[in-house]
A and B are shown apart, each in its own frame.
Chain A
Amino acid sequence: MANILLIEDSIEAQILIQKSLPDHAIEATKFYQEAVKLLETKQYDLILLDLNLPDGNGYDICQQLKEGTNIPRIPIIMITGQSGVEDRIKGLNSGADDYIAKPFSPLELKARIESVLRRGPTRTDQNQLVFGNLTLKIQEQKAYIHADSKQKQIDLTPVEFKILLKLSQSQNTVPRKDLMHFVWGKDFHISPRNVDTHVCKLRKKIEDASLTIKNKRGQGYFLAQTNVPKPVTSFERELPHSL
């Protein structure tokens, strides 16, 4: 089951699409501004997008998703009454992953959604990692935290970003030696204490996130879920001295 955001101005089209897709969780809105707010605060696997909205244009949403930093990259299928070749090209060029002209067959809609979902998450995974309210944009080497319905960028150094990336890519505890190799390379001489210092600073920078960096004595570091931001004194007490 996928979480789908349906942005469509016709209520009957909304109902029709919802009825056609009983296996998916669909949230619908007819307003552009509401859609942007939903996209900034909730996680969706796919967007079904009509072009003509009462307060905006579907192309703007596509453009915002393509260029913006406040909204995670999500596959988009345009569903619109504009069926000309030029309209289709414009839609695909503005960032849509697929384009369905109205009237559509419910079965075709289902098939296209499955097709886009099959390829969507792979591409998203390659460019972006999401953990709770923390998002890492790999190509841009930037990290963001969702808080109070806003997404704010965390000011990370390249080393801190690499440490966070390495930890987020691993299901297990990452040995300090592996972190050193990943961040600085095997040929670069670096003291293990340097890793601790960077982790300490990084931990402080992500204290508003729903996860934190923990130390498993003698084994290494790992990311752990937490809903309570840690006070500074707490993480200082947990600072590892040796592994």
Chain B
Amino acid sequence: MKTESQIEPEILEIVPLFLNSRKEDLRHLEDYLQNKNFDEIKKIAHTIKGISRPYGFPTLEDMSRQLETQALEKQPQEIQKTLHEMKTYLSKYIS
């Protein structure tokens, strides 16, 4: 299992679970964007921001921080771009 930064072996075991949940998140985020549900986007972004680094994905933390701000400021086009970046980034780790 590959991560962006080095993490402890016991955490590495649960990275697949983390990545599967992000896959689900991306799907939900796209739905919420279509419905302009910025509150839910902010909530998901906030959760991802809080746990990405210990799971070995610091760049995802930066992206989700950006996403949280964009949701707070209700910027759909910016959110769209960030979601695309997230998808590209995660595709390197999700098989």
Q: Is the CB of B50 within 8 A of A103?
A: yes
Q: Is A186 an interface residue (CB 8 A)?
A: no
Which of under 10, 10 to 19, 20 to 34, or 35 or more describes the interface residues of B? 10 to 19
A interface secondary structure, majority: mixed
Q: Is A16 an interface residue (CB 8 A)?
A: yes
Q: Is the CB of B61 within 8 A of A12?
A: no
Contact with B along A1-42 (1 / 0, CB 8 A): 000000000101101100110100000000000000000000
Chain A residues near B55: list those with CB within 8 A. 12, 16
The one of B8, B11, B21, B61 that contacts A103, using a Cβ cutoff of 8 Å: B61
Q: Is the CB of B50 within 8 A of A102?
A: yes
Q: How far is the CA of A22 from the CA of B49 in the complex (A)?
A: 24
Q: Given A12-B21, A106-B54: A19 and B49 within 8 A (CB)?
A: no
The one of B10, B11, B51 that contacts A102, using a Cβ cutoff of 8 Å: B51
A175 to chain B, nearest CB (A): 54
Ordered by A's residue number, 16 sampled pairs between the chains whose C-beta atoms are within 8 Å are A10-B47, A10-B50, A12-B14, A12-B18, A13-B47, A16-B51, A19-B11, A19-B14, A20-B10, A81-B46, A81-B49, A81-B50, A103-B61, A105-B54, A106-B8, A106-B54
Residues of A within 8 A of B (CB): 10, 12-13, 15-16, 19-20, 22, 52, 80-81, 102-106
